Each structure stands twice: as structure tokens, then as C-alpha cells.
Amino acid sequence: MWGELMSTRAKILGARGALLDGFARDTDGIKALGFPCFCTGYYAQDQGVRGRVIDYRCALEIGGVRVEPGTLLFGDKEGVIVIPRQAEEEVVRLALEKVRGEKLVAKAIREGMSAVDAYKTFGIM
């Protein structure tokens, strides 16, 4: 369980968001904080006696993926990706390359190019 109070404290401590293998509550309050929270679902029940901190700044596993402290995570409303430290530079470089290419495709389509021709020309769709 994760909520607005935990988000507030985490933000004060320098956290940039929360990635949970569990549920969140107080979603409007968390959103108002500008604190990204990625979870498996929402549930109105509070922590009560059910929650306790057992460790922090340690490796964990979510959905079969190991996440080490300091690992680069990228998330948006469609999901979260875990980028291993040894692949960070390449992944960021390729992602920026893809964005530049998608902008060219979008411009070409706005100017009348068909999606088929855009894909043949740019290899991106």
C-alpha cells in the first residue's frame, strides 16, 4: 500500500516517484504532488497494521525483473521500463534517435505522405 502521506515524505527525501509491486490509494493527492506513482492497482484501504518498512536502498524484483539501487527507470501512463546501468547510454541514444525519426514521419504525414510511404521511407511507424 502506498498513499499521499508516503509520497509526501518520499518527495521530501528526494524521491522522484514510486514504483510498486502493489496498490496505491489517495491517487488525487499523489497526483496533486506531481509525484509519479506506478502500481498494480488502486485500493482504498490504508496501511494500518498491514504495512511496515523492512528495507530500503536495496535490490528488489518486480514482475520477474531485478531492479538495483540507482537503476534508471522511465515511466509514463503506459508503463515503466527498467534500463540496466550497462545499457543506459545506448538506450537513451537510441530513444532520442527514434523520437527525431518519429518527428520526421509525423511531419511527412501531415504534409500528405501516406503511412505506407512514410514507413517505406523512414522505416518508422
pLDDT digit string, tens, across residues 4-29:
999 999 999 999 999 988 899 999 99
Residue 45 reports pLDDT greater than 90: no
**Secondary structure letter of residue 85 according to DSSP:** G
Identify the band that residue 76 occupies on the pLDDT scale cut at 50, 70 and 90.
Answer: confident
Show Cβ contacts of residue 121 under 8 Å, excluding neighbours closer than 6 positions.
108, 113
pLDDT at 116: 95
pLDDT at 25: 93
What percent of the chain lies above the pLDDT cut of 70? 99
SS3 78: coil
Instruction: Write down the mean pLDDT value for the chain.
Output: 91
Q: 0.85 cut: is pTM over it?
A: no
Residue 61 reports pLDDT greater than 80: yes
Model pLDDT for residues 89-124, shown as the tens digit of each residue: 999 999 999 999 999 999 999 999 999 999 999 998
Show Cβ contacts of residue 124 under 8 Å, excluding neighbours closer than 6 positions.
98, 101, 102, 104, 105, 118
The Cα 112–Cα 107 span in angstroms is: 9
